[in-house]
Amino acid sequence: MSAGIRHPFETPPAEGATVEVAPGIFWLRLPLPMALDHVNIFALEDGAGWTIVDTGLSSRRCKAIWEGLMAGPLAGKPVRRVILTHHHPDHVGLVGWFQSRGAELLATRTAWLYARMLTLDVQEHPAPEALTFYRRAGLFEAELAQRASERPFNFADVVDPMPLGFTRLTEGQRLRIAGRDWTIRIGHGHAPDHATLWSDDGIVLGGDQLLPGISANIGVYPTEPDADPLTDWLDSCRAFMPHASDAQLVLPGHKLPFTGLPLRLVNMIENHESALARLLDHLAAPRTANQCFQPLFRREVGPSEHGLALVEAVAHLNCLLRRGQVLRSLSPDGAWEWERL
């Protein structure tokens, strides 16, 4: 029987400080300007330098925090390697900054390609394909007009330029870091080819693939509007199960380190399967993605959360479509209307 999900470290490190969570492994946090106001970084003592897992956003504040950390708690030793779990800005933001100081980058090929492509793809106005995506999702004319008039979010706003060159991480690869042997296991759904690291002595660097208490966003975007990342996510949770044990200490990309990974994997699957069942009931009448928030999230979605809620709603609808449980048809105003079979 599972011992449940527990948090051995109840207090996160203060800004500019570290907490040693295992011999030679230090937990630190960097701020994010959003409701989820932090990202966890892990520094692994690696001989004469450090290997860090993820980097935080690119900002003057985060760079100043890093300078203080390297001069103080990290003992003045250089960061020699950066392991990138996935390409999202709060994890990749300062990768290029560390590379410019001589650090080697280790990442999956897909994560590196996405990150480098998106930092180079600066747009002053939304692409026509993006506006079509939002119309298909059911945004009203006024909302579409507002989006069309605004500069969209660009990776380059919060991610430092990334130079050419990286070392590829692959499924099953073995690495020696901080006196430990680690196995790379790749997950999908939240981000394509998301790297997780599993040590032989029971430590798991989970990134956003293995979070406690909150669900990683599973979203569909204009780049691949018919994608089904939710099926990828559920398949990854099941693929991790044979490797998971209650004793493992999971070091996640957000929130607190935890034990009880087998139960957490079950919970993550059940949470989405329950959401899919509620959504299917909701589709007794035709609905757009923009009309599906209540059954999925069971609460009001505010303006600051609307974008992430919308792409997650599309992901759940695409999953039901792949399962053959719904049909979709275009309304006269160009929105997909979804209805259960």
With H, G, I as helix, E, B as strand and everything else as coil, classify residue 138: coil
The enclosing H or E element of 339 equals strand 336-340
Do 44 and 50 touch, CB atoms closer than 8 A?
yes
Instruction: Please write the tens of the pLDDT for every residue from 57-113.
Output: 999 999 999 999 999 999 889 999 999 999 999 999 999 999 999 999 999 999 999
Note the pLDDT of residue 2. 60
Give dist(CA 185, CA 241) in Å, integer.
Answer: 12
Task: For tokens 């994608």, name the residue.
Answer: 227
Alpha helices in the chain (DSSP H): 60-71, 89-92, 95-100, 109-120, 128-136, 141-149, 229-240, 261-282, 293-297, 306-322
Give dist(CA 56, CA 97) in Å, integer.
Answer: 11
Instruction: Determine the residue type at 239.
Output: A
Note the pLDDT of residue 1. 47
Percent of the chain with pLDDT over 70: 99
Mean pLDDT value across residues 208-234: 96
Note the pLDDT of residue 303. 87
| pLDDT band of 307, cuts 50, 70, 90 | very high
Instruction: Please write the tens of the pLDDT for every residue from 131-184.
Output: 999 999 999 999 999 999 999 999 999 999 999 999 999 999 999 998 999 999
Q: Per the structure block, which two tokens stand in for 68?
A: 């203080």
Q: Which domains does the chain have, with CATH numbers?
A: 19-123+153-275 (3.60.15.10)
Judged against a pLDDT cut of 90, whether residue 228 lies above it is answered with yes
Task: For tokens 């907490």, name the residue.
Answer: 19
Note the pLDDT of residue 209. 98
Instruction: Please write the tens of the pLDDT for every residue from 1-58.
Output: 467 999 999 999 999 999 999 999 999 999 999 889 999 999 999 989 999 999 999 9
Stated pTM of the model: 0.96
Long-range contacts at 21-24 (CB < 8 A, ≥ 24 apart): 21/249, 21/251, 21/257, 22/203, 22/249, 23/179, 24/178, 24/179
Count CB neighbours of 58 within 10 A: 22
Instruction: Please write the tens of the pLDDT for every residue from 250-283.
Output: 999 999 999 999 999 999 999 999 999 999 999 9
What's the 3-state SS for 42-108? EEEEECCEEEEECCCCCCHHHHHHHHHHHHCCCCCCCEEEEECCCCCHHHHCCHHHHHHCCCEEEEC
With H, G, I as helix, E, B as strand and everything else as coil, classify residue 242: helix
